[in-house]
Amino acid sequence: MQKTLAELAAKINAEIKGDSHCIITGVSTLQSAEKGHLSFLSNAKYRQYLSATKASAVILTKDCVGDCPVNALIVEDPYYAYSQLAKEFIQLKKASPGIHSTAVIGNHCKIDPSASIAAHVVIDDNVIIEAHSQIGSGCVIGEGCHIGKDSHLWANVTLYHGVKLGNQVIVHSGVVIGADGFGIAQHQGKWHKIPQLGAVIIEDDVEIGANTTIDRGAIDNTVIETGVKLDNQIQVGHNVRIGAHTVIAGCAGISGSTHIGKHCMVGGGAGFGGHLKIADHSIVIGMSMVTSSIKEAGIYSSGTGLMKHREWLKNVARFRHLDKIIRQLQGK
């Protein structure tokens, strides 16, 4: 696959420095790039590699042009520009429309002729799959599910009954959407299951990473709003609502009925208690434990940073005496 620098510049409205006819055949980092590769500089930590790069062109901002020894595409946001141009070099095989002979299709399903249903897919009754969506090998789609246009389920995704996916949704392998939430009631020393009667609604332009699980609602629906991006191995409990354009990194856990606002950022391994409300535009640092609602946007952290083990043990011991010390200071 080959593109001229001029063709790429036109797609991101970039200013060209150098040879507009330069041929680009792929993308790479500044350090590993070779002739024909396009690279980018968005993080100041990597500026040290710019002067020695072997890339044929680099996407960067105007203030870095003087240090660039090769052709350049000048933009305001190099990382976003790179994300758009990298799409030009994706070399995935395009799935053919139609239903594979080994697929099992239930009754009263409506599958658009332009959709692609791969080998060994099982689709239950009353399922709707709209135009140009791709269902990968081994997927299981429960009764009454609805998958919008241009969505892509990679291999071995499971949708329980009644799940609704919007348009341009990407679901990676191993994802389970619509399993029962953790609803149990104790009576006379035993735990009794509470029926989970809601569903899961995934709105447009959502991406869900591998092996993430999203539980169905207990009564109301679990909702993932437009533009949300979920990393791998995230647990989303029943009746959770994640606001539009929020991003959540891997291994985060969100307990039931918590509502996370719009445009939030959540670091890897963060944990949320149940029935919380998180304000729009909040940032939660990785490995934080959120035990109360966040009412005002800001950056929030919890826990301690890494330190030598012996020092950590001393601090833990001191922490245990903190309440006693405070009481003594207060004269109580």
**Residue range 190-219, pLDDT digits in tens:** 999 999 999 999 999 999 999 999 999 999
At 64, give phi and psi (nearest 5°).
-105, -5
CB 159 within 8 A of CB 129: no
Pick from 20, 19, 22, 18: nearest CA to 2 = 22
- The residues of the chain scoring below 70 in pLDDT are none
30: left (phi over 0), alpha (psi -120 to 50) or beta: alpha
Q: How far apart are CA 178 and CA 26, in angstroms?
A: 39
CB 294 within 8 A of CB 257: no
**Coil, helix or strand for 61?**
coil
**Coil, helix or strand for 269?**
coil
- Exposed, middle or buried, 217 (CB in 10 Å: 0-12/13-18/19+)? buried
Q: How far apart are CA 198 and CA 256, in angstroms?
A: 13
CB 233 within 8 A of CB 213: no
Quote the longest CA-to-CA distance of the chain: 80
CB 260 within 8 A of CB 245: no
Q: How far apart are CA 138 and CA 211, in angstroms?
A: 15
| Residue of 100, 192, 238, 275 marked active site | 238
Sheet with strand 265-266: strands edge to edge: 98-99, 116-117, 134-135, 152-153, 170-171, 207-208, 229-230, 247-248, 265-266, 283-284, 299-300
Kind and range of the H or E run holding 59: strand 57-60
What domains are defined for the chain? Answer: 3-89 (3.40.1390.10), 99-300 (2.160.10.10)
Q: Tokens 């719009």 appear where?
A: 262
pLDDT of residue 304: 81
Whether 238 sits among the annotated catalytic residues: the reply is yes
Pick from 274, 276, 297: nearest CA to 284 = 297
What's the chain's average pLDDT? 96
pLDDT of residue 332: 72
Q: How far apart are CA 27 and CA 57, in angstroms?
A: 10
